[in-house]
Amino acid sequence: MKPLQVVGNRVLRVDGKAKVQGAALYPQDIHMEGMLYGATLRSDKPHAFITIDLEEAEKIPGVVKILTAKDVTGHNHHGVLFKDHDVLCAEKVRRIGDPMAFVIGTSERIAKEALKKIKVHYQEIPAVFDPLEAMEERAPKVHGESNIVYHYKCRKGNVDEAFKACDIIVERAYKTSMVDHAFLQPEAGIAYMDEDGSVVVLAATQYPHFDQLEVAEALGLPTEKVRIINPAVGGAFGGREDITMQIHLALAAYLTGKPVKVVYGREESFYAHSKRHPIMMKYKTGATKDGKLLAMEVMLIGDTGAYASWAINVMRKAGVHAPGPYEIPNVKVDSYAVYTNNPFCGAMRGFGATQTPIGSEQQMDILARELGIDPIQFRLMNCFRVGSETANGQILHESIPLAQCIEAVKDRMFQELR
């Protein structure tokens, strides 16, 4: 067999030396002659119609231009799956932190000073912050006619009949929290016009190809007239998969003809990017007295906040993984993604697969305790092995080392105890 080049070998990271030596170039390190500075005006209301008065702010010396929705030269929208974000909110804000205007000034101080002079009139409207309430017909609507973005269903066997045959049934509710990525490098970037008339955006991003499409669509340019350059990325974990300042920078450079730079502070970073979905989980799990799992019914409600981002992918994966890595012949899963007026949620390490073990694994512990079976042994009795069938009908043919992993951990645990 030909030796492996990476697995089992020490491989130098391409960017490792530059980062260790402090030579790596991050977006905030980039300086261009004659560049301008941008600052974003963000909503401090969760749900309101807005009107914006720029007159006083535009009089400040050093303010070059203030962009609002009317200055967007293409489509005033973006979003990885649904185009439900405004580049700059035109009529309505849907969360605290929504961008409403973008100030371009000769210095960062001037741009931020101008933000204080912009007058925003809010006509507040009812908001909804609980995803369960948001699912009700009478709830305030964040987008369109329904707050339910997505519903994933998984059905295997007959859970109603299976529960009748169970000797023990455990029903519990669990909840995970919204989590921020808190990467080391807050968002920063710079945009400029190239010699051939292309807009160039330098920003730390996870999806430069998506950014190119979204910038081009918002500016009304062909994609070949937009370049995205990815400098060093100071952490991401999913938090840089959505647009933050890229379109604002591109539009500012396009309209002024000059380089424009933005650096977010930590507080603005919290407002700007997505979070991990908090998920409400209801579990009902049944087993026989000898420890065989027979049935599981799960309802998941994921709060995607004001925008969908990757909600469909996240809540589908959460639904797929809700039963855990266990052979259960009868399964019913309903997984929902729901709009609210909370901060929006999207990609974060694991895409829904990290939240559901909070529920499924506690169910295993409680069942084992109620049955008087060692929780490790209970898992070994029911865990996936080669040939197992998942709840959605997938047959696992290879790479199923769960039992070996549990055994290894058990042996190590007992060694430590001794």
Q: What is the 3-state secondary structure (H, E, C) of the chain?
A: CCCCCCCCCCCCCCCHHHHHCCCCCCHHHCCCCCCEEEEEEECCCCCEEEEEECHHHHCCCCEEEEECHHHCCCCCCECCCCCCECCCCCCEECCCCCEEEEEEECCHHHHHHHHHHCEEEEEECCCCCCHHHHCCCCCCCCCCCCCEEEEEEEEECCHHHHHHCCCEEEEEEEECCCECCCCCCCCEEEEEECCCCCEEEEECCCCHHHHHHHHHHHHCCCHHHEEEECCCCCCCCCCCCCCCCHHHHHHHHHHHCCCEEEECCHHHHHHHCCEECCEEEEEEEEECCCCCEEEEEEEEEEEEECCCCCHHHHHHHHHHHCCCCECCCEEEEEEEEEECCCCCECCCCCCCCCCCHHHHHHHHHHHHHHHCCCHHHHHHHHECCCCCECCCCCECCCCCCHHHHHHHHHHHHHHHHC
Tell me, yes or no, whether 219 and 335 share the same domain.
no
Q: Of the candidates 265, 299, 325, which is a domain's last residue?
A: 265
204-236 confidence digits (pLDDT tens): 999 999 999 999 999 999 999 999 999 999 999
pLDDT (0 to 100) of residue 411: 85
pLDDT (0 to 100) of residue 261: 98
Share of the chain above pLDDT 90, in %: 94
pTM comes to 0.93
Tell me, yes or no, whether 294 and 336 share the same domain.
yes
The Cα–Cα gap between 3 and 12 comes to 18
Least confident stretch, 61-75, 154-168, 404-418: 404-418
Q: Of the candidates 199, 231, 265, which is a domain's last residue?
A: 265
Read off the pLDDT band of 3 (50, 70, 90).
confident
Tell me, yes or no, whether 120 and 139 share the same domain.
no
Q: Of the candidates 243, 265, 287, which is a domain's last residue?
A: 265
Note down the domain range covering 161. Answer: 131-179+275-417
279-302 confidence digits (pLDDT tens): 999 999 999 999 999 999 999 999
pLDDT (0 to 100) of residue 413: 80
Tell me what the pLDDT averaged over the chain comes to: 96
Tell me, yes or no, whether 224 and 332 share the same domain.
no
Query: What are residue 99's phi and psi, to 5 degrees?
Result: -75, 130
156-197 confidence digits (pLDDT tens): 999 999 999 999 999 999 999 999 999 999 999 999 999 999
Tell me, yes or no, whether 294 and 372 share the same domain.
yes
Domain assignment present for residue 358? The answer is yes
The Cα–Cα gap between 6 and 12 comes to 10
Tell me, yes or no, whether 355 and 402 share the same domain.
yes
Tell me, yes or no, whether 80 and 193 share the same domain.
yes
Domain assignment present for residue 321? The answer is yes
Tell me, yes or no, whether 242 and 373 share the same domain.
no
The Cα–Cα gap between 139 and 142 comes to 9
Tell me, yes or no, whether 170 and 186 share the same domain.
no
Tell me, yes or no, whether 190 and 173 share the same domain.
no
| Mean pLDDT value of segment 11-15 | 88
Domain assignment present for residue 285? The answer is yes
Tell me, yes or no, whether 311 and 359 share the same domain.
yes
Whether 416 shows a pLDDT value over 80: the answer reads: no
On the 0-12 / 13-18 / 19+ scale of CB atoms within 10 A, 254 is buried
The Cα–Cα gap between 79 and 244 comes to 10
Relative orientation angle of helices 357-371 and 375-382, to the nearest 10 degrees? 110
Tell me, yes or no, whether 350 and 213 share the same domain.
no
pLDDT (0 to 100) of residue 418: 59
How many domains does the chain contain in total? 2
pLDDT (0 to 100) of residue 415: 72
